[in-house]
A and B are shown apart, each in its own frame.
Chain A
Amino acid sequence: MEKIIDLTLIQLASAYIFVVILLVIVKIKGIAREKEILIGSIRMTLQLILVGYLLSYVFENSNPFYTLFIIAVMEVFAVFNIYKRVKKELSLKLKKVIAFSIVVGTLVGQFYFVLVVLRISPWFEPRYFIPIAGMMIGNSMTGISLGVERLLDGFISKKNLVESALMLGATPQVASRDIVNSSFDAAILPTINSMVGMGIVFLPGMMTGQILSGISPLIAVEYQIAIMLGIVGCVSLTVFVFVQMAYKTFFNKYCQLNI
C-alpha cells in the first residue's frame, strides 16, 4: 500500500492562499467579515495542531482514563455549544434535560458501537474510540440544537392550542404531541438527508480520510456504512430521550403551561 504524502510546512502554507483569496474578496465587496475569517482560520489552525499533539500522545500511551477524560471534555463542550447555539433563553430544567440526553444517548450509542459492532479490544483503544465518539457526539449535538429550537418555537407559536387542549382535559403529553413530533423530525432530518446523499453528492470525511491513508475503498465503505448507521441510531436515541423529557419542563405539577 502506498504511504500517504506527509505535507511539508511550505506545502501547508501554500494552502492558506485560499483564505487570502477569501479575504481579498470580502475586502473588495465591502463585506465586514475579515475579523471572523481571520479568527476562524487562526483558531482552526491552533486547535488542530493542539489536537494533533494530544492525540498522538494519547495513542502512544493508551489508557482508559485518558480516553474517558477526552470523552468527558467532548460531552461538556457539546452541551455548552448547544446552550450557545440556541438563540432563545433556556430554563434551568431544560438545560439539565439537554445535558442528560446528550450524555446518556451518546454514551449508550458509543458503547454499543464499540463493543458490539466493532468489537475493538481493549475497549478504550483511543485510535477507534475517540474519533467515533467525536462523530456521534457532534451529530447528536447538531440534532439536539435543532430539536430545542423547534420545540421552543412550537410552544411559543402554538401556546393557544396547547392551552386550549389542556382546557379540554388533555394531558400535557397529548397537548404537546404535535410540537414534540415536529421537534423530533427537525432534529433527525439532517442525518437522514446526509444518508441519502452519501457517496453521490459527497464522500464523507471519515471515508475520505481512510482512502487517503491508503486503505482500500471497500474497507473504507464498510466502516462508513457502519458509522453512518451508528450515527443515525445515536442521534435518534439522544433526540428521543431529549423530547420525551423536554416537553415536561414546560408544564408544572398542576399540568399548567408555564411559558
Chain B
Amino acid sequence: MFSLKGVKYKDILDINELHIPGEKITCIIGESGSGKTTLLKLLNNMISCDEGIILFKGQSLYDINPIELRRKVIMLNQNPAIFSGTVKDNLLIGLRFAEKSIPDDSKLINVLHQVYLKKRLEEDAEILSGGEKQRLTLARILLMEPEVLLLDEPSSALDQNTEKEVIEQIIKDVKARQAALIMITHSRLLAEKYGDFIIEVKNGQIFLIRERR
C-alpha cells in the first residue's frame, strides 16, 4: 500500500526501502526521538520528504490532492486535540472537516462504547481527563471509517487494562472493514501481540522485525 524508496527527511529519517502492506496491522516501535512520528507524518503528507519517492497504491503521494489523501489516510496526533464544545461536537468534527455525512446519535453512543468512554454526548469535552480525551479522539476517527488509520501512541494515557480493551476494539473494527492500521507504540509487548508487521526505527533507519503476510 505504501512504498518508500530512498526517502530522506532532514537528518531525522533515512529510509532505503520500506513497503507497508494494506489490510494489515503494522506496528512501529523505537526509542523516542528516533523518527517514528516523522515517518507517520510523511505517510499522510503532513510533511514532505527532502529526497526519495513515497507511493500510495502505486501513485506518488505528491501527485495526490493532500486533502483527499488525508480523508482516506487519517492520522491521530499524539496530543489529543480537543476542540471547544461537547463530546458530541468533538465526535462529529472529524466528519465535518472531511465533509462526510453526519450519523445519528445512536451511532455516536455506539462508538463511545467501543472505546470504553462512559460519557454523555452533551458533556463538555474540555473537562475530560487526559485518558478520556485520548479515547474521545480515537472514537472520532473510528467514526470516519478511514481506509488507513495512522495512530501515534494511541494508548499512551491509558492504563494497561483499558489500553488492551481499546486497542482490541480498534483492531476488530479495522479488520471488519478490511482497512489498514499503522500504529506507533511504546510497548514492544503490544506490537508483538497484535502486529502483522513490526518495524523498528533506530536513529532514523528502518529495521523489519516481523513480516507476516
Give me the interface of A with B, judged by CB distance under 8 Å: 160-161, 163-171, 174-175, 254-257
Q: Digit string of B57-94 for contact with A (CB within 8 Å is 1, else 0)?
A: 00000100011001100111101010100000000011
A160 engages B66 (CB within 8 Å): no
The reply on B44 being an interface residue by CB < 8 A is yes
Q: With A164-B81, A167-B75, A169-B71 as given contacts, are A255 and B97 in contact (CB-CB < 8 Å)?
A: no
Query: What are 29 sample pairs from A and B whose C-beta atoms fall under 8 A apart?
Result: A160-B77, A160-B81, A161-B81, A161-B83, A163-B46, A163-B81, A165-B97, A166-B46, A166-B70, A167-B75, A167-B76, A168-B70, A168-B74, A168-B98, A168-B144, A169-B71, A169-B94, A169-B98, A169-B99, A170-B97, A171-B67, A254-B45, A254-B66, A255-B45, A255-B66, A255-B67, A256-B45, A256-B46, A256-B48
The reply on B47 being an interface residue by CB < 8 A is yes
B66 engages A168 (CB within 8 Å): no
Central interface residue in A165, A171, A254, A256, by most chain B CB within 10 Å: A254
Interfacial chain B residues near A175, Cβ < 8 Å: 97
B79 engages A160 (CB within 8 Å): yes
Interfacial chain B residues near A256, Cβ < 8 Å: 45-48, 66
Assembled-state Cα–Cα distance A168/B48 (Å): 17
Interfacial chain A residues near B48, Cβ < 8 Å: 254, 256
Chain B, residue nearest A171 (CB): B67
The reply on B141 being an interface residue by CB < 8 A is yes
Q: Digit string of B37-53 for contact with A (CB within 8 Å is 1, else 0)?
A: 00000001111100000
Interfacial chain A residues near B45, Cβ < 8 Å: 254-256
Q: Which 10 pairs, one residue from A and one from B, show the smallest C-beta to C-beta distance?
A: A164-B81, A170-B97, A169-B71, A169-B98, A167-B75, A168-B94, A169-B70, A168-B97, A255-B66, A254-B66
A167 engages B66 (CB within 8 Å): no
Give me the interface of B with A, judged by CB distance under 8 Å: 44-48, 62, 66-67, 70-71, 74-77, 79, 81, 83, 93-94, 97-99, 137, 140-141, 144
Assembled-state Cα–Cα distance A256/B137 (Å): 21
Query: 6 extra interchain contacts, Cβ-Cβ under 8 A, other than A168-B141, A255-B67?
Result: A161-B81, A164-B81, A165-B93, A254-B45, A254-B66, A255-B66
A167 engages B46 (CB within 8 Å): yes
Interfacial chain B residues near A174, Cβ < 8 Å: 97
CB distance from A158 to the nearest CB of B (A): 9
CB distance from A96 to the nearest CB of B (A): 23
B79 engages A167 (CB within 8 Å): no
CB distance from B56 to the nearest CB of A (A): 14
Interfacial chain B residues near A161, Cβ < 8 Å: 81, 83
Assembled-state Cα–Cα distance A241/B107 (Å): 41
CB distance from B102 to the nearest CB of A (A): 14
B44 engages A167 (CB within 8 Å): yes
Assembled-state Cα–Cα distance A169/B44 (Å): 10
CB distance from B92 to the nearest CB of A (A): 11
Assembled-state Cα–Cα distance A169/B64 (Å): 13
Interfacial chain A residues near B81, Cβ < 8 Å: 160-161, 163-165
Interfacial chain B residues near A255, Cβ < 8 Å: 45, 66-67
CB distance from A106 to the nearest CB of B (A): 35
Assembled-state Cα–Cα distance A257/B4 (Å): 23
Chain B, residue nearest A161 (CB): B81
Central interface residue in B70, B76, B93, B144, by most chain A CB within 10 Å: B70
A169 engages B67 (CB within 8 Å): yes
B74 engages A169 (CB within 8 Å): yes
Assembled-state Cα–Cα distance A11/B190 (Å): 86
Assembled-state Cα–Cα distance A254/B97 (Å): 17
Chain B, residue nearest A175 (CB): B97
Interfacial chain B residues near A164, Cβ < 8 Å: 77, 81, 137
Chain A, residue nearest B68 (CB): A169
Q: With A160-B77, A160-B79, A163-B77 as given contacts, are A168 and B46 in contact (CB-CB < 8 Å)?
A: no
B77 engages A167 (CB within 8 Å): yes
Assembled-state Cα–Cα distance A170/B81 (Å): 14
Assembled-state Cα–Cα distance A161/B77 (Å): 10
B76 engages A170 (CB within 8 Å): no
CB distance from A257 to the nearest CB of B (A): 8
